[in-house]
Structure 1
Amino acid sequence: MIAETICSAVAAAGLGIAAVTAYRKRFLAAARLAAYALVPLGLVMTGAVEWAADTAFSPVAWAGFGVLGAAWLLFTATRAAERRSGGTRKERKAAAKAARRDAVAPAASAPSLAGTARPAAGPKKTAAPAEDFSDIEAILKKHGI
């Protein structure tokens, strides 16, 4: 009841100031002031002020705001943790799959990988030392050493 009275008084004062401004031939400013003054009156007439006053003094409403705040904190905390860990589980899994595909054959296309059988797990063959030294010799010759 008191909130409606205050809003009505603010609207009446705003319309009075708008009338004085219009009397001084500043019609654009007067129209803007009248628009601002009519907002509290419209809120009173729609019942929004009564709802807000009932909400402000309701313990259940404040508990609801607390629950919303806790949900927001959980959401932001999980987003921050996700960014620190390097993305979601799905993104990490896709990156690992792409790394495995590149490790098998970087130049191969996906269909060619599907039809090939994987080699049996056995002793790994190392590159011949001559190949490694030939690369090094080529680099040294290129630099004139």
Structure 2
Amino acid sequence: MLTAAVSFLLTAAGVAVAGLRAYRRRFLSATRWFAVALLPAGLYLTGLFPVARTIGHEFADWAAKLVFDPRVWTGIALLAVSAGLLLATRWVGRRAVEASGTHPAATGPAPARPAVTAASDQGKTAAPKAKPARKRDDGLGDFDDIEEILRRRGI
């Protein structure tokens, strides 16, 4: 009976906070508060509070054993060695592929594509214009493409 009262009080408090958030026109926050406010009542009505209590008790037992039981530390060490071996084999496998120069077909070079021509040059074949190589030391070298687009559009 106490569990029911506490869960419904928590739900009512959460709905009140959601209402205040909605009153202040913070609808996204209000929706989040409302969703979280429904959890205690939902957990009580589905009977999941005893399950949560059991999970909490088992977790506490595990944590106590973690501190005092060398068998648990051995298990953690084995898990760490396993993860390390998996990561090492993945790393070595990638280095072997890079060293041999054999890449899967999906990562090979892209096929050559024909140049796109403007609408006014429909009958003519146009070679793509080479972009002049400019080296600047002002620190804005990454904006060359944007600058070129703006120049073409007259901005």
Q: TM-score, normalised by structure 2?
A: 0.39
Instruction: Name the one with the larger helix percent.
Output: 1
Higher radius of gyration, 1 or 2: 1
Using CA pairs below 8 Å that are at least 6 residues apart, which structure has the higher relative contact order?
1
